Structure 1
């Protein structure tokens, strides 16, 4: 696969590609300053912002609420913990960045995709959520694609054993690794020597390595539905899908940088041009419907209604309306939210059976303080 026409106007093409991220220009010292963060996750959040749980992630169900998140234990006492100020939930095996889903929406979708593709191109790994959160902030601050690529390359050469990159590698060696990581071409589908020589010559003429990576990423997508090479962009897209699921939708980080790198690579290697199921099996999350990018559902109200149905309808229904308050429909519950909050949360006078748990009281309180919708 050779794309010489893309290189006829190198600076113009790079600028146009950079605009898809954030625009041309930027700080030339960026790559040196931020190199380590390209390969490993950012430092853990301050303890006050991390909620810690003893079990593994699959032992809990995480739900978005109107005030934050709830984390429910799936066995044992089935305890639910409501989180309102925490940014992460740390489990025995992984840490969930609770904010990355919403943060991912603060940059264009194309920028987010390119960022994940850079992880694939330079490390052939799925990104971790904390790393994505950091780089999203950098993009918003004005960093463009050539600066991102330079930082990722500088990080890759520091982990030669894992990435295959080194500071002393030849241009030909660099090109072959990009063909392998970006285009999935190695072994029987490895590029011919003439193609490698062409791209190596572009580097020798002064083209930056970041430019070559960005060009090859862009070029790969032009082969969608091609009879011979259509599997190449499909492989790349599938890796992006898995990376998005892992880092953005599930918000995952392994609890050590070493795990994030090695397991992230193992997951990416399991992706094929036709299948992502093995990669998701390696991720191993059973709460697959959990999605940090999804809007808050009406589940909080449904929880409140369930509590009322269990404890309040004996006295507040069509058959019996104590104090003139009926609660047997959703509209009536919302209409009487003030009284409901005062009697169940403030005075604790209701229900008369007095059996509301601390979690049930917290659920009603969170729903009411969020607007009782």
Structure 2
């Protein structure tokens, strides 16, 4: 007989200060998995490696995150989510310190894998915020928390690039460990207690339900595929930017990090996108995200040799990524609150598998075909996304108004 999750207390409370705290937490923790992107050239130089090898290490980080999503995040449906978040933060601190102390590429690669696995706390926080959000405001709340996630991605590249230009690149990970330690102290006092009192199931039984959920909900499969495409296209660009800047302008990690600040447009747009997802069909907004990302690659291909073209393309690409992520999260979190962590796990697994493949193959194409190969790869991936969204999953609506 299958054991079911039992919810004894479904009271919900979420004020603006708690949403802000969750957004800040997501920003600080998710930054860990993106620190490597602007400093890939520095790592390759110190360890005497080819660019493609460092790209593979970046892929390991993304893969670690993806498998952490698949195996750890679902635990939020059977255990106290506050406790799970706090434990993950402790492990994230240890992983960052290992990267800081790494004497060679093998230890650094192992640390990168652990960083990916242990940095999934935001993906426990996101469904937790969605669960606590009042009905009719879920998209707005998720948009605010996801804007924090984007700030983490944005500032991680900037902080990493700038710090590596004045300090050894390892210092980035020491600072990361300190920041997460401070965050742990704040969350210990301020993070709300989990209102769900009882979850009668085992971890093994819970994991077995994940494939069943994927099979049962076409909208979940559609979101996972879309996340794969959207984030994959984003990482193809960001994983190769530092090499392109060095080739085109003789620039390095500092400039790559500063260009990442252009993603502030996506941060500012996230709450608005969340409100749009509450008012309109998220599927429509996801289509806009695909269009924007494709336009961005058109700009990169045609005008990327000019700094102005590169800047415009970055702004459009980050907007497209954010449109896709917020809208996908909104429809996924609207399926069934009792399985919100598992839904988020499946969606974000697809999302970061796309990111991992984008990082690896982006670096690979850069080595073989340069900037034209990078842009071509991004366009091909997005064409696949259009096919999946408009042809393969044209009518996957299983929840009201989604």
TM-score (norm 1): 0.28
Greater helix share, structure number: 2
The structure with higher relative contact order (CA 8 Å, sep 6+) is: 2
The structure with the larger Rg is: 1
TM (normalized to structure 2)? 0.26
